[in-house]
Structures are given as structure tokens and as C-alpha cells.
């Protein structure tokens, strides 16, 4: 979460703010995680973004070490003032749409969790670490001032014969395995001996 917030800060100050200073009005910007790339979607009103402009911003992302990120600009025909003048009914419909999208996201997260076979995860991890006594995983919702994020948490318990095992290294390997297996970028680990 720290890394994600740090990256958001860098994108805002190094890409979005300079784009705004060129006379564009940023209506909204967000990141969208795809399998092999993370899109930075910017919705704006103002002048057209040329191929040269895109190339400059893409190069800046690469120079910042954000090789997995790609920019997508969406020019809107509405200014912020026009958006503010929208009828309250239209605004209410937009908010309902956002709420529905959030609800669908929560439902899809629940579906992912329902499809996790903890017994299978435990069996696969135990092949490499026979001293593993128990393994449990679950999504954890983290809330900050105005943001909410969901991360995976894992709890491992070692049996009484695991004394000589380098538990820190083993937990790190299990964490890497779970990150791949759960298709996520973060798994918080907790461990204990029996």
C-alpha cells in the first residue's frame, strides 16, 4: 500500500500536474491494473494530446522507473463548470453508477475469495515445507482518510519439529508463492510456531 501511494504521488506530481499546467483541466485521473500493464487513465478537457506529447510523458514514466505504466488520455467535451451545472438528477445517477461499480467490485472480490481452495494452497506449500502445520488466507479491507484498498493476509503456523528451519526465509518463500497464486501484489504474512 505504501508503494502504491508513493507511485500515485509521483504520477500526480510528475505527469498529471505538468499536464494540467499546459492549460488542460483534469476532470479525473486513475490507475487501472491490467495483467501485464497498469494504465494511467486521465480524463480532461482542453487541447488535443499529440503523439509527441504522449511520447514525452511515456518517456518521463520510463525515466521515473515506472516501466509497467502506460498513459491513456480521454478528452471530454465537458468542462468542470459544465459538470458543476449538471442537474442534481444527473449527478445522482452518476453517483448511483459509481456505487453499483463499487458493489460489483466487492461482489467479484467475494467470488475470488469463495474460489480460493485453502486446502489446496496448504497442500502445495506443505510439499516444500513439511513442517508447515496450518495455513490460512483471507482478504483484508484497509481504509484511510478517503480511500479503501483490499490486501491479502496469510497466517502460517509451524509444527513442533520446525526448530532448525529458517522460518523467516520459509515465510518469505510462501509469501512469494501466495502472491503468484492469488494473482496479487501484496500478501501480509503472520507466523507462529506450535
Question: Residues 7-26: pLDDT tens digits?
Answer: 888 989 988 898 888 888 88
- The yes/no answer on whether domain 116-193 falls in CATH 3.40.50.450 is no
**pLDDT in the model for residue 102:** 59
pLDDT of amino acid 109: 53
Q: Which CATH number fits domain 2-85: 1.10.10, 3.10.450, 3.40.50, 3.30.300?
A: 3.30.300
For 123-153, write each residue's pLDDT tens digit.
Answer: 888 777 788 888 888 887 777 666 667 778 8
Interatomic CA distance for residues 1 and 96, integer angstroms:
27
* CA distance linking residue 138 with residue 106, whole number of Å: 14
What is the residue extent of each domain of the chain?
2-85, 116-193
DSSP 131-155: TEEEEEEEEEEEE-SS-EEEEEEEE
Residue 31 has pLDDT above 80, yes or no: yes
Distances (CA, A) of 48 to 73, 74, 106, 163: 9, 10, 36, 64
Amino acid at each position: 500500500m505504501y508503494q502504491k501511494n508513493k507511485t500515485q504521488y509521483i504520477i500526480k506530481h510528475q505527469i498529471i500536474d505538468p499536464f494540467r499546467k499546459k492549460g488542460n483541466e483534469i476532470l479525473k485521473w486513475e490507475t487501472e491494473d491490467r495483467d501485464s500493464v497498469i494504465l494511467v487513465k486521465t480524463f480532461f478537457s482542453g487541447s488535443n494530446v499529440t503523439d509527441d506529447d504522449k511520447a514525452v510523458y511515456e518517456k518521463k514514466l520510463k525515466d521515473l522507473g515506472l516501466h509497467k505504466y502506460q498513459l491513456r488520455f480521454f478528452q471530454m467535451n465537458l468542462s468542470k463548470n459544465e459538470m458543476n451545472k449538471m442537474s442534481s438528477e444527473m449527478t445522482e445517477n452518476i453517483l448511483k453508477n459509481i456505487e453499483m461499480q463499487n458493489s460489483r467490485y466487492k461482489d467479484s472480490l467475494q467470488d475470488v475469495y469463495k474460489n480460493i481452495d485453502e486446502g489446496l494452497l496448504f497442500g502445495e506449500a506443505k510439499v516444500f515445507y513439511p513442517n508447515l502445520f496450518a495455513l490460512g488466507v483471507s482478504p483484508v479491507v484497509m481504509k484511510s482518510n478517503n480511500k479503501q484498498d483490499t490486501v491479502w493476509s496469510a497466517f502460517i503456523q509451524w509444527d513442533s519439529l520446525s526448530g532448525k528451519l529458517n522460518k523467516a526465509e520459509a515465510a518469505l518463500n510462501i509469501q512469494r508463492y501466495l502472491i503468484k497464486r492469488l494473482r496479487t501484489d501484496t500478501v501480509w504474512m503472520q507466523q507462529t510456531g506450535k
